[in-house]
Protein backbone atom coordinates (compact mmCIF):
# COMPACT_ATOMS: atom_id res chain seq x y z
CA UNK A 1 0.00 0.00 0.00
CA UNK A 2 1.35 3.43 -0.92
CA UNK A 3 2.03 5.90 1.87
CA UNK A 4 0.58 9.42 1.61
CA UNK A 5 4.11 10.77 2.21
CA UNK A 6 5.62 8.81 -0.69
CA UNK A 7 7.74 5.68 -0.79
CA UNK A 8 9.75 6.76 2.27
CA UNK A 9 6.62 7.75 4.14
CA UNK A 10 7.15 5.47 7.10
CA UNK A 11 10.41 7.28 7.90
CA UNK A 12 8.60 10.63 7.65
CA UNK A 13 5.80 9.49 9.96
CA UNK A 14 8.25 8.07 12.51
CA UNK A 15 10.30 11.27 12.47
CA UNK A 16 7.21 13.47 12.94
CA UNK A 17 6.17 11.27 15.85
CA UNK A 18 9.53 11.91 17.47
CA UNK A 19 9.18 15.65 16.82
CA UNK A 20 5.84 15.61 18.62
CA UNK A 21 7.35 13.78 21.60
CA UNK A 22 10.28 16.20 22.08
CA UNK A 23 10.05 18.39 25.17
CA UNK A 24 10.83 22.10 25.55
CA UNK A 25 14.35 21.41 26.85
CA UNK A 26 15.05 19.46 23.67
CA UNK A 27 13.80 22.31 21.50
CA UNK A 28 15.89 24.84 23.42
CA UNK A 29 18.99 22.72 22.73
CA UNK A 30 17.91 22.30 19.11
CA UNK A 31 17.65 26.06 18.53
CA UNK A 32 21.24 26.45 19.77
CA UNK A 33 22.46 23.78 17.33
CA UNK A 34 20.41 24.62 14.23
CA UNK A 35 21.95 27.90 13.13
CA UNK A 36 21.64 28.73 9.43
CA UNK A 37 24.65 27.76 7.32
CA UNK A 38 25.50 27.75 3.63
CA UNK A 39 25.59 23.95 3.78
CA UNK A 40 22.05 23.83 5.18
CA UNK A 41 20.84 26.24 2.48
CA UNK A 42 22.29 24.00 -0.23
CA UNK A 43 20.78 20.89 1.37
CA UNK A 44 17.39 22.60 1.69
CA UNK A 45 17.45 23.50 -2.01
CA UNK A 46 18.41 19.95 -2.92
CA UNK A 47 15.58 18.49 -0.84
CA UNK A 48 12.97 20.79 -2.34
CA UNK A 49 14.28 20.27 -5.87
CA UNK A 50 14.17 16.47 -5.60
CA UNK A 51 11.25 14.79 -7.34
CA UNK A 52 8.27 14.01 -5.12
CA UNK A 53 4.64 13.89 -6.16
CA UNK A 54 2.63 17.02 -5.46
CA UNK A 55 0.23 15.10 -3.24
CA UNK A 56 3.04 13.59 -1.16
CA UNK A 57 4.81 16.96 -0.89
CA UNK A 58 1.56 18.62 0.27
CA UNK A 59 0.90 15.83 2.79
CA UNK A 60 4.43 16.11 4.24
CA UNK A 61 4.21 19.91 4.48
CA UNK A 62 0.78 19.78 6.12
CA UNK A 63 1.81 17.11 8.63
CA UNK A 64 5.03 18.99 9.45
CA UNK A 65 3.16 22.24 10.11
CA UNK A 66 0.49 20.48 12.15
CA UNK A 67 3.14 18.71 14.24
CA UNK A 68 5.07 21.91 14.96
CA UNK A 69 1.86 23.76 15.90
CA UNK A 70 0.94 20.91 18.27
CA UNK A 71 4.17 21.50 20.22
CA UNK A 72 2.63 24.62 21.79
CA UNK A 73 5.85 26.60 21.63
CA UNK A 74 4.12 30.00 21.41
CA UNK A 75 4.75 30.85 25.06
CA UNK A 76 8.06 29.03 25.30
CA UNK A 77 10.34 32.05 25.19
CA UNK A 78 12.04 30.70 22.07
CA UNK A 79 11.06 33.75 20.01
CA UNK A 80 12.41 33.45 16.48
CA UNK A 81 13.69 29.99 17.33
CA UNK A 82 10.16 28.70 16.74
CA UNK A 83 10.47 29.62 13.06
CA UNK A 84 13.84 27.89 12.90
CA UNK A 85 12.28 24.76 14.38
CA UNK A 86 9.42 24.92 11.88
CA UNK A 87 11.72 25.31 8.87
CA UNK A 88 14.05 22.57 10.07
CA UNK A 89 11.23 20.10 10.80
CA UNK A 90 9.66 20.74 7.40
CA UNK A 91 13.00 20.40 5.61
CA UNK A 92 13.87 17.22 7.49
CA UNK A 93 10.49 15.67 6.71
CA UNK A 94 10.87 16.50 3.00
CA UNK A 95 14.49 15.31 3.12
CA UNK A 96 13.40 11.99 4.54
CA UNK A 97 10.64 11.68 1.93
CA UNK A 98 13.22 12.10 -0.87
CA UNK A 99 16.22 10.62 0.97
CA UNK A 100 17.07 8.18 -1.80
CA UNK A 101 17.43 11.14 -4.19
CA UNK A 102 19.64 13.27 -1.95
CA UNK A 103 23.40 13.21 -1.61
CA UNK A 104 24.30 11.63 1.74
CA UNK A 105 26.00 14.89 2.75
CA UNK A 106 22.80 16.88 2.18
CA UNK A 107 20.78 14.45 4.27
CA UNK A 108 23.40 14.54 7.02
CA UNK A 109 23.35 18.35 7.16
CA UNK A 110 19.55 18.41 7.31
CA UNK A 111 19.28 15.78 10.05
CA UNK A 112 22.39 16.57 12.11
CA UNK A 113 20.78 18.89 14.71
CA UNK A 114 17.98 16.38 15.34
CA UNK A 115 20.47 13.56 15.83
CA UNK A 116 22.50 15.80 18.16
CA UNK A 117 19.52 16.22 20.51
CA UNK A 118 18.87 12.49 20.56
CA UNK A 119 16.43 11.65 17.78
CA UNK A 120 16.73 7.90 17.33
CA UNK A 121 14.50 7.47 14.28
CA UNK A 122 16.98 9.24 12.02
CA UNK A 123 20.30 8.38 13.63
CA UNK A 124 21.19 6.33 10.53
CA UNK A 125 18.61 7.16 7.84
CA UNK A 126 20.55 5.37 5.12
CA UNK A 127 20.12 2.07 6.96
CA UNK A 128 16.33 2.36 7.15
CA UNK A 129 14.47 0.35 4.51
CA UNK A 130 12.46 2.20 1.93
CA UNK A 131 8.97 1.18 0.94
CA UNK A 132 8.35 0.06 -2.61
Q: What mean pLDDT comes out for the span 16-29?
A: 96
Distance of CA 17 to the CA centre of its chain: 11
User: What 3-state DSSP class applies to 107?
Assistant: helix
CA distances from 98 to 47, 60, 83, 101, 118 (A): 7, 11, 23, 5, 22
The sign of the CA dihedral 77, 29, 21, 104 is positive
Rounded distance, CA 50 to CA 34, Å? 22
pLDDT in tens, 73-121: 998 999 999 999 999 999 999 999 999 999 999 999 999 999 999 999 8
Rounded distance, CA 119 to CA 108, Å? 13
pTM of the predicted model as reported, rounded to 2 decimal places: 0.90
pLDDT in tens, 53-80: 999 999 999 999 999 999 999 989 999 9
pLDDT in tens, 31-56: 999 888 899 999 999 999 999 999 99
Amino acid sequence: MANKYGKNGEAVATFLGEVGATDLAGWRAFVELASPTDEFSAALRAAYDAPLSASARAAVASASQRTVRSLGLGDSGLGRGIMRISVRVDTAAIGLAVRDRLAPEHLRVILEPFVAIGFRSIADPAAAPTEE
